[in-house]
Amino acid sequence: MVHQFHIPVLGLGYSIDTPLKVARYGISSVVSIVDDELTERMREYHAKLNQLPFKKIGKEEEDFRCRRIIAYLNLLNDLVTDQFEQLKKQEFIPGNDICRYFELLPEGSKLKSGYELMMEYPEGEQKQIFQQLLRNAMVKGAIDVNIMSKVDKLNFDKHGTYLGDENTDALSALRGFVGSTLNSSVILSAGMNPRLYGYIESFPNFLPNAAANMRKQIILKVSDFRSAFIQAKFLAKKGIWVSEFRVESGLNCGGHAFATDGFLLGPILEDFKQNRQSMLDVLYELYSTALVSKGIFLTELPKQKVTVQGGIGTAGENEFLLTHYQLDATGWGSPFLLVPEVTNVDEGTLNQLANAQASDFYLSNSSPLGVLFNSFRQSTAERQRLDRIQAGKPGSPCTKKYLCTNTEFTKEPICTASSKYQKMKIKQLKGMEVDPLEFQERFDKITEKLCLCEGLCTSAYLKTDLIKPKESRAVAVCPGPNLSFFNQVYSLDEMVKHIYGSLNLLEKVKRPHLFINELNLYIDYLQKEVQLQLQDINDKKKKYLGNFKEQLLRGVNYYKTLFTDLSKPEMCINDLLAAEIRLRATSI
């Protein structure tokens, strides 16, 4: 790993081919493999773009979802490998991609320092030898994949016969990753799925050799230390090692937001810092015992990284997180939505995001999964949702069915964003005797749900000109609130320089520290929850909200101590005290 950051998964389509744009420069990124229709269409697009043969894998074919994912990941791997090998053959001439590779590296990197020294060498044999050493030290960025563990739809054949546990969406996606030629990681997010976690054990590629190296690795995206430890122990007992804990802010992130019970990012990272070694010892004991039963005896301790992502906005924050919490890397997601050469954002959405105000980014209940979702008020998908309600036709056509979980009115699960569900739910509501105000509140909750399966792919189809004549052109986008501080379109070089501190893209922008931003998001969340519970408060809910507030106050006290160690503590302390006043004024 030559870079100190990675690009996390961004929706479905936004980072679907990001490795083709950054991996040759040593930058790792994450591809979603939730949508096999998307991977199939992007495979056709990139095969034709690179004049490679393409044979369609139809839905009528056996195990088509798994095979589509394998085929797409293999294509990505082949194309990135070819890009990288071609880059390494280039001459070290300013402007060439091989020079860009080294110039994008962080200051202080031994590889970058070596490159800069080599460029000052006089022409001759010594310089040629030096250049070859640099080429040999180059590594490409990883092509990692993401599976939302609980997006695991059951699948049936045309006769309605269940196809078995191994053919649920999450398990077939995992099988696709395992069957690919990638030597990389699968990021498991959105909580624990015992069926999926148990399935991992059946694949030898996740098992180590004696030197503790694995062809396929597991990364857990987590929001707190306790859940991370529980999940890792479950896997370790099966002989599966967690190679990285990817800590993500509960609310200051893009996509789905999983509000912790008042646990803030700073205290969570402190937990990992203080307990990392003891956790490693426990996990290794469980892991090595399980491996012995499989006939594997380790001679090396496997590596285990801890990284963080969600809301990081400046080089100072980036460096502080790495050094103070002894982390291995950081993740930068939403800001890359404003980097057209990295992500698939159509021109209209790109302009909207670049010119957005802070109020345009908000937490909604629009996800059919029933989980909070970071939304963008100006999106064309949101406009389409409102237009459909106005026309008396709320809801969306449901063609992909990835988020079908509701069986309130049907035997087979359907999606709560679908017009089918919303029509039945509104009919039920009309049959109730409720006053107009309550009717409107319930109606708004029903119709707030948005089709994400289509909307999160549309931007990629628009940018690559793959949109079909009858397909919706409405774009759903799910940036984190941190994006509101970035207000123009950037190049890859500019964003990377910003991350490493040689360029400040937010120089004239007033922006609180990332910990303060997250704290205020949690206070907003708590106040909203209190308002929602006023009508139907009970002892259990009151206790939960009280504990939530107390946990936030403990976080505030932690930050009071922490911020005194910063170079300009008054800038953070003043913001912290203002947030504390707001928090203490929140009545439970």
Give residue 546's domain range.
Answer: 512-588
Q: Which residues contact 45 (CB under 8 A, 6 or more apart)?
A: 464, 466
Burial class (CB in 10 A: 0-12, 13-18, 19+), 487: middle
Q: Which two tokens stand for residue 220?
A: 């857990």
Domain boundary among 114, 132, 151: 151
For residue 540, is pLDDT > 90?
A: no
Q: Is residue 410 a part of any domain in this protein? A: yes
- DSSP per-residue codes, 51-115: T-------TTSTTHHHHHHHHHHHHHHHHHHHHHHHHHTS---TTSHHHHHHHTSPTT-HHHHHH
**Spatial distance between the Cα atoms of 500 and 540, rounded to a whole number of angstroms:** 47
- Rg of the chain over Cα atoms, rounded to whole angstroms, equals 25
pLDDT at 569: 61
pLDDT (0 to 100) of residue 35: 96
Same domain as 472, residue 386: yes
pLDDT band at 285 (very low <50, low <70, confident <90, very high): very high
395 CA to centre of own chain: 26
Supply the pLDDT for residue 570.
58
| Contact of 177 with 216, CB cutoff 8 Å | yes
29 part of a folded domain: yes
Select from 476, 498, 526 the last residue of a domain: 476
Q: Is the dihedral of CA 368, 372, 373, 376 positive or negative?
A: positive
Looking at residue 190, what is its pLDDT? 80
Same domain? 124 vs 44: yes
* Least confident among 379-388, 475-484, 556-565: 556-565
pLDDT higher than threshold 70 for residue 239: yes
pLDDT of 566 over the 70 cut: no
Residues near 112 by beta carbon (within 8 Å), at least 6 away in sequence: 102, 103, 105, 106
Over residues 81-135, the pLDDT tens digits come to: 999 999 999 999 999 999 999 999 999 899 999 999 999 999 999 999 999 999 9
290-323 in b/e form (b: 16+ CB < 10 A) is: bbeeeeeebeeebebebbbbbbbbbbbbbbbbbe
Question: Residue 532: its pLDDT value, please?
Answer: 78
Residues 444 and 569 grouped into a single domain: no
User: Roughly what angle, to the nearest 10 degrees, separates helices 169-179 and 64-88?
Assistant: 40
Looking at residue 571, its pLDDT comes to 62
Range list of H helices, 333-403 = 347-354, 380-390
- What digits encode the pLDDT tens for the residues 446-496? 999 999 999 999 999 999 999 999 899 999 999 999 999 999 999 999 999
Measure the CA–CA gap between 117 and 181, rounded to whole angstroms. Answer: 36
Say how far apart CA 307 and CA 1 lie, in whole Å.
13
Domain membership flag for residue 466: yes
User: Are 528 and 472 in a shared domain?
Assistant: no
Q: Which of 121, 151, 181 is the last residue of a domain?
A: 151
Q: How many CB atoms lie within 10 A of CB 122?
A: 6
> What pLDDT does residue 564 have?
80
Tell me: the pLDDT tens digits for 158-185?
Answer: 778 888 889 999 999 999 999 999 999 9
CB 333 within 8 A of CB 8: yes
| % of residues, the chain, pLDDT over 70 | 98
Q: Which amino acid is at 66?
A: C
User: Is 339 inside a domain boundary?
Assistant: no
Q: What is the pLDDT of residues 1-36, one digit of tens each?
A: 899 999 999 989 999 999 999 999 999 999 999 999
Is the same domain home to 117 and 54?
yes
Q: Is residue 113 part of a domain?
A: yes
Residue 116 lies in a domain: yes
Asked if 129 and 6 sit in the same domain, the reply is yes
pLDDT band at 148 (very low <50, low <70, confident <90, very high): very high
Q: Are residues 14 and 141 in the same domain?
A: yes
- Please report whether residue 186 resides in a domain: no
Whether 388 and 534 map to the same domain: the answer is no
Closest CA to 223 of 189, 199, 178, 255: 189
Q: What is the mean pLDDT of residues 319-334?
A: 97
What is the helix (H) or strand (E) element at residue 320, kind and residue range? Answer: helix 315-324
DSSP letters for 478-540: ---GGGGG--S---HHHHHHHHHTSS-TTTT-----HHHHHHHHHHHHHHHHHHHHGGG--HH
Tokens 């997010």 found at: 189
* Shared-domain flag, residues 522 and 441: no
- In this structure, are 41 and 144 located in the same domain? yes
Average pLDDT of the chain, as a whole number: 94
Closest by CA to 233, choosing from 196, 267, 192, is 192
| Contact (CB, 8 A) for 270 and 209 | no
Q: What band does 156 get if pLDDT is binned at 50, 70 and 90?
A: confident
**Mean pLDDT value across residues 66-80:** 98
Tell me the pLDDT band of 433, cut-offs 50, 70 and 90.
confident
- pLDDT at site 153: 85
Whether the model clears a pTM of 0.85, i.e. scores above it, the answer is yes
174: in domain: no
Contacts of 267 (CB under 8 A, 6+ apart): 554, 555, 558
Q: For residue range 329-363, what is the model confidence (pLDDT) as tens digits? A: 999 999 999 999 999 999 999 999 999 999 999 99
Domain count, the chain: 3
pLDDT band at 536 (very low <50, low <70, confident <90, very high): confident
Same domain, yes or no: 441 and 541? no
Specify whether 467 is located in the same domain as 423. yes
Cβ contact 128:25 at 8 Å: no
The pLDDT tens digits of the residues spanning 393-432 come to 999 999 888 889 899 999 888 999 999 999 999 999 999 9
The pLDDT assigned to 567 comes to: 61
